[in-house]
Amino acid sequence: MANKSDNEQLEMEIYDFLKLGLGDPLPVAATVGRNVGELLDKIVSMLPEAEGVAEGEAESIRVALVGRPNVGKSSFINKLIGGERLLVTPIAGTTRDSVDTPFEFEGQKYTLIDTAGLRRKYKVHENIEFYTNLRTDRAIESCDVAVVLIDAAEGLSVQDQRIMEKIISTRRPSVLAVNKWDLAEKDQVAVERFGKELKATLGRFSRMPVVYVSALTGQRVPKVLSLVKKVHSENHKRIATSELNDFLQAAVGKKHPPARKGKYIRFYYATQSEVTPPTFVFFSNYPELIDKSYISYLNNQLRSTFGFDGVPIRLKFRKK
Ligand SMILES: Nc1nc2c(ncn2[C@@H]2O[C@H](COP(=O)(O)OP(=O)(O)OP(=O)(O)O)[C@@H](O)[C@H]2O)c(=O)[nH]1
Ligand SMILES: [Mg+2]
């Protein structure tokens, strides 16, 4: 590219540059915009072909398997792929590094990421623990969907909650799989009690899809993948603006935001500005006066109306 070729006279001198052997020179002039269109055409013609993959199709969904040491992460992946690819032992801390396994199920590609189990925080000063925690964090950051495995015999632990906090803070969709279900008491009362206790400890994660599995027998192991696919598509879901505004009218009609500082809060309209994670923008006359409890009301209403289970949605409030 030969810049400052402001006119045809100068443009003729372009041939001097051929001698340099750097390919065909293109005379351009940045100040007057001469031949800039030709330059752009040339750049576009030299770009590599875009891969002809439609959005969300044929792409591999990256799935991170995370959970405490010994919960059965490696066993789970081995069961899915029907092999012994990953080392499984009764010793906690068998897996030391994240391992990617490509896998296809019902026409969908997945990349399963096995991770090292996450330890208690007080052990983090030890070097290995520090790096395994770091790798679990990395696996979560790099995944499309996280599967949290918990042990049926032990329920939801502090470490599990720490993993879930990380999933929330990195805004990843997730599924909770209760493993070693083959060892759990199977009478109806026990199952219901477990479910109730789990919901209680889940608290603000209560919209996370839960599935009871056994990596040993394979029970409901494929079900985890169908839930992964479901939350992945929920994370890409778009709600039409017209639908959102019908929703907004109904939600505000049912419960109006309380007036604050003598100001009457009004909503004008709402729109979904983004996916992954789905983000909703509400336009209002006093966005700064909308209180937390009303925001959580809108959040719950949105989820009851449109789903988004297992997906961290975001609500934003803007001045019109
Ligand atoms: N009964 C039963 N045992 C299981 C199940 N899943 C895994 N195990 C056993 O639990 C132990 C640990 O399994 P791993 O797959 O190595 O667990 P991990 O989560 O990969 O463990 P680390 O790599 O150490 O973090 C092994 O002895 C498995 O055979 C299950 O569903 N039921
Ligand atoms: Mg392992």
Domain shared by 105 and 226, yes or no: yes
Nearest atom in ligand 1 to 69's CA? 25
Picking from 298, 299, 308, the residue whose alpha carbon sits closest to that of residue 249 is: 298
Give the pLDDT score at 155. Answer: 87
Q: What angle do the packed helices 241-254 and 292-306 form, to 10 degrees?
A: 130
Domain shared by 12 and 153, yes or no: no
Amino acid sitting at position 49:
E
Domain shared by 229 and 308, yes or no: no
Give the pLDDT score at 51. Answer: 46
Please give the model's pTM, rounded to 2 decimal places. Answer: 0.78
- Residue 254 located in a structural domain: yes
Distances (CA, A) of 19 to 1, 12, 27, 145: 14, 14, 15, 55
Give the pLDDT score at 22. Answer: 62
Mean pLDDT of successive 10-residue stretches along the chain, which has 320 residues = 64 62 65 61 59 56 93 93 74 71 92 75 55 81 96 88 90 96 84 84 83 95 96 97 96 94 93 96 95 95 96 94
Domain shared by 98 and 174, yes or no: yes
Give the pLDDT score at 135. Answer: 80
Give the pLDDT score at 122. Answer: 47
- CA-nearest residue for atom 16, ligand 1, is 88
Nearest atom in ligand 1 to 217's CA? 31
What range does the domain containing 33 cover?
Answer: 8-46
Give the pLDDT score at 75. Answer: 94
CB atoms within 10 A of CB 241: 12
Q: Which residues line ligand 1 (CB under 6 A)?
A: 69-75, 88-90, 92-95, 116-117, 179-180, 182-183, 214-216
Angle at 215 between CA 211 and CA 219, to 5 degrees: 60
- Residue 55 located in a structural domain: no
Domain shared by 226 and 286, yes or no: no
CA of 217 to the centre of ligand 1 (A): 12
- CA-nearest residue for atom 9, ligand 1, is 72
- Residue 313 located in a structural domain: yes
Give the pLDDT score at 54. Answer: 45
